[in-house]
Amino acid sequence: MSNILDKIFTARKKDVASDQRKVPLEELKNKVSSVQPARDVGSILRKEGTTRIISEIKLRTPFKGVLREGAEPQDIARIYAEGGASTISVLTETRHFGGSVDIFSRVREAVDIPLLRKDFIFSEYQVYEARAMEADWFLLIATWLDKNQMCDLADLGKELGMQALIETHNEVDLEKAFHTNAQILGINNRDLGSGKTDLDISRRLIPMALQEEGKILVCESGIHGRKEIEEFEAMGAHAFLIGESLMKAPDISAKLRELLNDNEASR
């Protein structure tokens, strides 16, 4: 029986086919040639002396439902940027996460820091689309993609000036990620099939990921407070992708200050 990840990718294939009929690939390629160059995400995530937070704009999830009623993505993006986020992740999958290309575009107009296109990407069309919407980097999910597919998509991203975030959840995923030679590896503590979150995933995989020199490690999901950030920074994590904790916080700005540490957020 297929899990939620399989269902999402199946739906995305239908949606991307529809998108391509509306906006042909050649049109996207023409647009890519006229957009501003992608920002250097790698150097930002390696910045010493500060916690690097990738703040996420995620309106809902298949596991938790709506995360913030009445959320205005561009307003949240401004809070993130002004509060010290290193980069912002924007969901563009519509059916299950409430995202869209339009939301991404509104966020791009609102802030000038790097943006991650977070989606269920499997095709060249989506990579070109990401750059056409002025994404600076994009997500590839190792759990679902095979290693050759990931290599091809990551290489295309490089040709277009973008880094890929290769998201892993277990040892098999890590092996596939190493095969791509991508610079940025994500370790997702959430099982995308069941929705279960387990921080022991990062505790187990961070030391393995560090065996490959020069990688930037992003810890994803299940991070709720400063204590967890300090634990994983001590292990070698470079950055933290945090969505739910921020989106559900009564005061997003205060929560971001807590995660960064007050003296850093007020720098």
Active-site annotation holds for 56? yes
d(CA 85, CA 94): 24
CB 23 within 8 A of CB 158: no
185-219 per-position pLDDT tens digit: 999 999 988 889 999 999 999 999 999 899 999 99
Of residues 93, 129, 134, 220, which has the active-site annotation? Answer: 220
pLDDT at 264 over 70: no
| Tokens read off for 253 | 């700005």
Known catalytic residue at 189: no
C-alpha 91: how far from chain center: 8
DSSP-derived secondary structure for 145-171: S-HHHHHHHHHHHHHTT-EEEEEE-SH
Contact 201, 207 (CB under 8 A): no
What percent of the chain shows pLDDT beyond 70? 97
Non-local (6+) Cβ contacts of 39 within 8 A are 113, 114, 136
Confidence bin at 267 (pLDDT 50/70/90): very low
- How far lies 62's CA from each of 58, 82, 167, 224, in Å? 11, 29, 19, 19
- Please provide the average confidence, as pLDDT, over all residues in the chain: 94
In angstroms, rounded to a whole number, what is the distance separating the alpha carbons of residues 39 and 228?
Answer: 28
Q: Is the pLDDT of residue 265 over 50?
A: no
Cα 261 to Cα 34, 81, 96, 130, distances in angstroms? 39, 16, 32, 32
Q: Provide the pLDDT for residue 192.
A: 85
Domain extents for the chain? 4-30+43-265
- Which one is catalytic: 221, 228, 245, 255? 221
Read off the tokens for 135. Answer: 């994404």
The Cα–Cα gap between 238 and 45 comes to 6
Annotated catalytic residue: which of 56, 93, 134, 244? Answer: 56
Q: Catalytic site residue 129? A: no
183 DSSP assignment:
S
Give me the catalytic one of 55, 86, 89, 118: 118
The CATH number of the domain covering residues in 4-30+43-265: 3.20.20.70
Let me know if 255 is a catalytic residue: no
What is the spatial distance between Cα 53 and Cα 181, in angstroms, rounded to a whole number? Answer: 23
Q: Find the catalytic residue in 86, 89, 188, 189.
A: 188
Q: Which amino acid appears at position 129 of this protein?
A: E
Tens-digit pLDDT profile for residues 60-105: 998 889 999 988 999 999 999 999 999 999 999 999 999 999 999 9
Q: Please identify which residue in the block is written with the tokens 């996420």.
A: 56
DSSP, res 51: -
Q: Determine whether 14 is an active site residue.
A: no
- 118 an active-site residue? yes
Is position 3 annotated as part of the catalytic site?
no
Kindly give the pairing relationship between strand 60-61 and strand 65-66.
antiparallel
Q: What is the pLDDT of residues 140-178, one digit of tens each?
A: 999 999 999 999 999 999 999 999 999 999 999 999 999
* Dist CA 12 CA 131 (whole Å): 18
Catalytic residue among 93, 167, 228, 244: 167
**How far from each other are the two terminal CA atoms of the chain, in whole angstroms?**
51
Helices (H), the chain: 4-22, 25-32, 41-45, 73-83, 101-110, 124-132, 147-159, 171-180, 200-209, 226-235, 244-247, 252-260, 262-265
